[in-house]
Structure 1
């Protein structure tokens, strides 16, 4: 189980994992390198290729656990991690199923969701960060979330309260990331791999998603030969809490019970 853009496992993944464990499934929840409890310097460096390598490592580790059936590993990802779960499964080729929740599927769609002023600021700081890395200076940072028009990756009105509201009280969360990722995101389109996946896939879409626009995700999901699409009348950050969480996690447990049933295990 992997989280989204700059998020750590304590930001809501524990609640999903607890429900899956209560239903009889084992969960491996991890932080990406450079974030949370994982190693990696400099801190707050988000590299898409490295995060996909982390997914591959997590899948391999799960298969190595004696109590785990190596043929029944499921990738579960949320937001940016939802896109990673799709790509990781496609690259691996032996994953039993995928659950992608409010997934990032199209860099183009997500960038167009930013206002032009913010997009310009993110691009400028991204170029500055790449230049700093070239001469081995410390990273140039931008916010993960911010208010409208600020220099941050997510600036929709519901982004800052929704995202930061998932941080547990007292957790030393850092609301920034090396800006170079802002140059990578527009060219990242993980939703395209849904057409290639042959394992069962559940895509949970938030219709009022301000971060990972629903329209393109729905288009990708409808191209997936093994993809089940569920839609919820909520925003991107609502699915982690309250009634939206209860509905989504129940649907996800039902999906697991169908595609990797526990009978006989």
Structure 2
């Protein structure tokens, strides 16, 4: 399925997106088709694993607007490869506004779709909005403090201290860059056994294995779980029960607060992507959920 490249502006920066046009009229009304606003997780780009999800949803009759955050992938912005939770949420909301203006879509039926870090952003972005018709949070990271405690099971204290020191150095002086994924024992944002192979398996040509070390500080203050109770539309939370990156127990607390439908999968954080054991079930559940609540 061919996607159309499109740009939009967030914070004065030109951001890149891909528009997948929904097929058929199964979910269309006189106002148009629903549109999915789709974003990736930590340092992720549209060409790194999102396209199979976008194509499946478009085939089911939804338009999809998948975008890169500023400073990542095909989007503009400087500094590059630096995560700002405030900035990414601003980008997400700007993408919602841009998606609502697409031809043939219903601006009052936005679907917010996010995986991992963006699985938390969609909670914050949906809270208190009347134009959001549904939310899909895939292996969402909803509580940075809980994620830090969760990481103690898979990282040594020395490894975590090294990342923290690098973050402070970057915050106080010249930027300190480190890999997004690295082998266990090395400096990196994700060093769990197997995570490097898993991420590289979905990495697209615009993806860069580099991130500002301040990401740990940003994650510490990332708590969209506090807004989960303010979601006023149907929500689907898809939880990997053996997720070593996004704590499943935090996802469940957020899902309970959001009165969400929950689906569980017997896998880890990356097992939801194409070619992995849980992918087909994850996609089927998304299509069934959205077809039901939007039809």
1:162 and 1:112 map into 2 onto residues whose CA distance is 22
Map 1:1-265 onto structure 2 (within 5 A).
1-90=38-127, 92-114=129-151, 115=155, 116-132=157-173, 137=174, 139-168=175-204, 171=205, 173-225=207-259, 227-242=260-275, 243-261=277-295
| TM-score, structure 2 normalization | 0.82
Deviates more, 1:123-132 or 1:179-188: 179-188
The 3-state SS of whatever aligns with 2:198 is helix
Aligned-residue offset at 1:241: 2.2
The structure in which a higher percent of residues are helix is 1
* 8 A contact 1:117–1:149 mirrored in 2: no
Instruction: For 2:82 and 2:218, locate their aligned partners in 1 and report how far apart those are by CA, in whole Å.
Output: 12
The count of aligned residue pairs is 253
Measured after TM superposition, the shift of residue 45 of structure 1 is 1.3
Q: Secondary structure of 2:189's partner?
A: strand
Residue 167 and residue 223 in structure 1: after superposition, are their counterparts in 2 closer, same or farther (change >3 A)? same
CA contact (8 A) 2:47 2:203 kept: yes
CA distance in 2, matches of 1:173, 1:12: 11
- Whole-angstrom distance in 2 between the partners of 1:57 and 1:140: 29
Q: Please give the root-mean-square deviation of Cα atoms over the aligned residues, in Å.
A: 1.4
Point out 4+ residue stretches in structure 1 off by more than 3 angstroms. none
Q: CA deviation at 1:231?
A: 0.6
Which has the larger share of strand? 2
Structure 1 contact 99–201 (Cα < 8 Å) conserved: yes
Q: TM-score, normalised by structure 1?
A: 0.91
Partner Cα separation in structure 1 for residue 216 and residue 265 of structure 2: 28
Distance 2:41 2:170 in 1: 21
| Further displaced range: 236-245 or 29-38 | 236-245
